[in-house]
């Protein structure tokens, strides 16, 4: 942890207000992170593996961080033609839409838009903190997924929600999750902070390629 603001102000011969403003700016830029009751730390980058299917909450908890969410909206309605095609649903089937900001130790990490067929959950209020926990409780947890990643620049609205600057680099992950029967149960688009996430994948040569 960094020294307390009082100690930093004394060692740098500046006011605590100046120190606080400087720290706030570094937190906003993703270079520092604050943990309630613990102090201010240099922000480490998160390595997210493409080889394991895990939820955001599981990823953060595995690193000893506290995951949390700020809900933007919950809505129920019919699937659009595009959504029906991507999830192999009949036209107009009911779906739940969840939008929220995902945090790790009070630092915004991702903006998440999730679409779930209404038949996969008992109600729209079944999702509390973890979407995958709710799907698992309903017997519909994704067992495999198809993911697509691309680089994006945060829009003004996204930047405000993620406490970063307009045009800051981000990573958009689009995931379609399938349960044990092969039925699509999830379409999630998540915008991750490019200054906080590294995505890694383990590759190996297939026997056919080795010939």
Tokens of 180: 């044990």
pLDDT tens-digit readout, 111-159: 999 999 999 999 999 999 899 999 999 999 999 999 899 999 999 999 9
Please check whether residue 147 lies inside any domain of the structure.
yes
pLDDT tens-digit readout, 61-111: 877 778 899 999 999 999 999 999 999 999 889 999 999 999 988 889 899
Q: What CATH number is given to the structural domain containing 191?
A: 3.40.1410.10
Q: What CATH number is given to the structural domain containing 16?
A: 1.10.10.10
Domain that holds residue 56: 46-201
Same domain, 89 and 145: yes
Please check whether residue 146 lies inside any domain of the structure.
yes
Same domain, 8 and 69: no
Please check whether residue 60 lies inside any domain of the structure.
yes
Please check whether residue 206 lies inside any domain of the structure.
no
pLDDT tens-digit readout, 1-30: 678 888 888 878 888 888 888 877 777 655
Say if residue 111 is exposed, middle or buried (CB neighbours under 10 Å; 0-12, 13-18, 19+).
buried
Please check whether residue 210 lies inside any domain of the structure.
no
Beta-bridge partner residues of 166: none
Say if residue 202 is exposed, middle or buried (CB neighbours under 10 Å; 0-12, 13-18, 19+).
exposed
Same domain, 30 and 122: no
Same domain, 34 and 90: no
Please check whether residue 178 lies inside any domain of the structure.
yes
Please check whether residue 211 lies inside any domain of the structure.
no
* Count of structural domains within the chain: 2
Q: What is the pTM of this model?
A: 0.71
């Amino acid at each position: 942890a960094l020294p307390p603001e009082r100690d930093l102000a004394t060692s740098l011969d500046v006011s605590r207000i100046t120190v606080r403003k400087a720290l706030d700016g570094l937190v906003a830029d993703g270079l520092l992170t604050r943990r309630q009751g613990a102090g201010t730390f240099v922000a480490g980058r998160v390595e997210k593996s493409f080889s394991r299917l895990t939820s955001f909450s599981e990823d953060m908890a595995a690193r000893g961080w506290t995951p949390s969410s700020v809900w933007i909206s919950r809505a129920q309605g019919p699937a659009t033609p595009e959504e029906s095609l991507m999830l192999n649903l009949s036209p107009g089937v009911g779906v739940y839409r969840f939008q929220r900001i995902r945090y790790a130790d009070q630092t915004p990490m991702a903006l998440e838009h999730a679409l779930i067929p209404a038949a996969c959950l008992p109600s729209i209020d079944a999702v509390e903190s973890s979407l995958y926990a709710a799907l698992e409780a309903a017997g519909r947890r994704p067992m495999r997924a198809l993911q697509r990643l691309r680089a994006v620049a945060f829009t003004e609205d996204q930047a405000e929600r993620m406490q970063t600057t307009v045009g800051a680099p981000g990573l958009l992950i689009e995931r379609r999750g399938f349960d044990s029967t092969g039925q699509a149960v999830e379409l999630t688009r998540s915008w991750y902070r490019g200054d906080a996430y590294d995505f890694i994948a383990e590759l190996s040569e297939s026997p056919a390629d080795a010939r």
